[in-house]
Amino acid sequence: MMEIIKKSDETMTKKDIFMLTKNQSIRTVKSLSNGTKINVCHWVEFKDTNASGEIVEILSMMDEDGSCYATNSKAFKEMFADIVTIMDGESFTIEKLGGKTKAGRDFVTCGLL
C-alpha cells in the first residue's frame, strides 16, 4: 500500500497525487538524457511496494507541462531535497545529470538551473 511521506504543497489535488504516484505514463529519471530540464511544479515522496515485494521510497516530480518523472536514486533524492530546502517555496527548474562511478556503475542526480 502506498504511503505519502512528503509533498510539495497542500494545494495539490487528488488528481495531482494520482498522476505522481499511480499513472502509467510516469517516466523514470534514469531514462532521461543528461541535461533534460524539469520545471518542477509539484513533487511527492512516497513509499510503495516494488515488483519484488520490497518497500521502496520514491520521489516523483511533475513538470509544468504535466509530465511526471520518478526515481528511487538516493543521490538524486538527496540533491533534490537540498534544492527544495534552499529554494524555500520558490519555483525552480532542475536538470537531470548522470554518469558512471569509479566502479563503473551508472548514477543519476540533478542540478539547479
In the chain, where the domains are located: 3-112
pLDDT beyond 90 at 11: no
What's the rounded mean pLDDT across residues 36-50?
97
pLDDT beyond 90 at 1: no
Beta partners for residue 110, in sequence order: 96
Closest residue by Cα to residue 38 from 106, 92, 98 = 92
Q: Which residue has the cell 504516484?
A: 21
What's the rounded mean pLDDT across residues 59-67?
98
Share of the chain above pLDDT 70, in %: 100
CA angle (26, 99, 35) in 5-degree steps: 55
What's the rounded mean pLDDT across residues 68-78?
97
| Average pLDDT score, the chain | 95
Q: How many residues does the chain have?
A: 113
One-letter amino acid at 72 equals: N
Closest residue by Cα to residue 68 from 38, 107, 45 = 38
**C-beta separation of 96 from 29 below 8 A:** yes
